[in-house]
Amino acid sequence: MRIYVGFDDTDTIDAERGTGKLARWFEQAIPEGGRFWGVVRQQLLLDPGIPYTSHNSSACAVIDCDDRAMMIDLMIEKAIAHINEYALPGSDPGLCVVSDADPCLTDLKRFGINCTRAIMTQEEAVKAMNGSHLSGHGGTNDGIIGAAAAVGLTANGWSGRFIEFGGLREFPPQATVGGLAEKGINTVTIDRDAQMPAPDDIIETSGWLRPRLIGGKPVLLVTAKGEGLWESIGKKRSTKQKEVK
């Protein structure tokens, strides 16, 4: 069984850490019997009518386990304690916890997609959950919107980028296609001719390896840079955008 744990709005504009880091740290809080799979950052709609902190992104930690009956309640308990410990004063934290067997997932996936296109409300988030766990933990509780969206989009499997998976932060600035594959990360070129990178080919990541969630799997998108040499797309932002809140 797979459990999705969505977090949102746990930070403030001047904070040294954001919701993504809080979600990554949750790996250390996973109860015994849970197997950490990864954390996916989801980008939601940027609109002046939405009170986001910096980039209006939320994050979903994905955990595999064998016993849903015992694990889901324990996961909720651990996630709430995690938010209480690490969410910053002045934030509006939200938490969403759902398993892949939950009947609300169809509506939740639709809700997540809508959050990338339109301004959604707390009431709409609660309706999509249909009684599954969604909770606010301070401030306006607006974080429940992004937390639910993070779970819906991640469960849908076709958006977002991994901010943790298989030790991706430990890879060197140059990695091999085969080395990534051993960690479960597939490599796909977005070039016109769509050549297939060979296992010994080198990928330059500039020290920022962030696979995309495509078809429910981590996929690194690359462009050709030379013979047997590829470059991953996307670069790290150097500064935060202005707070809109």
pLDDT digits (tens, 9 = 90+) for 12-70: 777 778 899 999 999 999 988 899 999 999 999 988 888 776 778 999 999 999 876 67
pLDDT confidence of residue 111: 98
pLDDT confidence of residue 189: 95
Whether 243 has a pLDDT exceeding 80, the answer reads: no
pLDDT confidence of residue 234: 82
Spell out the long-range contacts of 46-51 with Cβ–Cβ below 8 A and sequence spacing 24 or more.
47/119, 48/244, 49/119, 50/119, 50/244, 51/140, 51/142, 51/244, 51/245
Residue 238 binned pLDDT confidence (cut-offs 50, 70, 90) = low
Average pLDDT score over residue span 86-98: 93
Distance from C-alpha of 17 to C-alpha of 66, rounded to nearest angstrom = 32
Q: At 57, list the tokens.
A: 């992104």
Q: Regarding the domain delimited by 2-162, which CATH topology (the fold level of the hierarchy) does it fall under? A: Alpha-Beta Plaits (3.30.70)
Whether 103 has a pLDDT exceeding 90, the answer reads: yes
In the chain, the percentage of residues whose pLDDT exceeds 90 is: 76
DSSP 126: H
Distance of CA 211 to the CA centre of its chain: 11
Structural domain boundaries in the chain = 2-162, 170-232
pLDDT digits (tens, 9 = 90+) for 158-191: 999 999 998 898 899 999 999 999 999 999 999 9
